[in-house]
Amino acid sequence: MASNARQRILDGALDLLRAAGGGTITLDAAAKQVGLTKPGLMYHFPTKEALMLAVVDHAADRWEGMLLDHLGEPLETATPHQRIRAYVELALTARFDRADFAIYSDALYRDALTATWVHRFEPWLTLPEDMPAPVRGRLMAARLLADGYWTAAATDVFPAPEQDRAQLIAVTQGLLEEEPGHEGTGAIAAEATP
C-alpha cells in the first residue's frame, strides 16, 4: 500500500507540472493533488528536496523504461550506435509534455537533481573516446537534433511542423548509419505519434 501511495504522489507531482499555465511542486500542492494531508505526504517524503529527488528519479525511470523497451536488449550489451539510436528514435516518436521538460530543466538548478539525470543517462549518451571523430560527430549531431525535437514538442515552443517530421527522421537515419560491418541498424517508425 505504501508503494502505491508513493506512486500516486509522484504521478500527482508530475500532473502539477502539466497544469494549464504551468504549475509548481510544493509539499502542500502535491498533497492536495492526490487527496492527502501534508503530514500524510511527509510520511513518504519528509522534505521538498526528498520529493523532488524522487520525482526526478520517477521521470528518469519512465524514460529509461521506454529506452530499454525500444532498445530491445540489455543496455550493457548494446553498442554506442544502438544506444544513441534508441535515444534518438524515442525522442522523435514518443509523446513528451511540459512535465517532462519542467522536471528535466528544473534539475539543472540543483546539483542533487542534476546528478540523478547524469547518473541515469550517462550510460546511454556517453560515446567512447576512441571512436573515430566523424562517427562521434554524426552520433552527437543526431542526439542533439533529438534533444531539440523533444524539447520543442514538450514545450510547444516552435515545435517541428508535422509535415517536416518525415524529413527529420530521414536526416537522423543518415546520421545514425553505422560503419560497414556493424550490426544494429534500424529505421525510425515514421508513422509513430510525436
Instruction: Pick the closest to residue 86 from 70, 69, 66, 63 (CA basis).
Output: 70
- In this structure, are residues 12 and 34 in contact, taking their beta carbons and an 8 Å threshold? yes
Sign of torsion over alpha carbons 118, 124, 128, 133 = negative
- Phi and psi based region of residue 188 (left: phi greater than 0; alpha: psi -120 to 50; beta: remaining): beta
Q: pLDDT digit of tens for each residue in the chain (194 aa)?
A: 567 989 999 999 998 888 755 678 899 999 999 999 999 999 999 999 999 899 989 988 999 999 999 999 999 999 999 999 999 999 998 888 778 788 777 777 778 888 888 899 999 999 999 999 999 999 999 999 999 998 888 888 888 888 888 898 899 999 998 765 444 444 444 434 44
Q: Residue type for 114, please? A: T
Cell of 129: 573516446
pTM over 0.85: no
Cα–Cα distances in angstroms (integers) from residue 73 to residues 127, 142, 175, 176, 184, in the given order: 18, 21, 22, 18, 11
Domains of the chain: 1-46 (1.10.10), 53-194 (1.10.357.10)
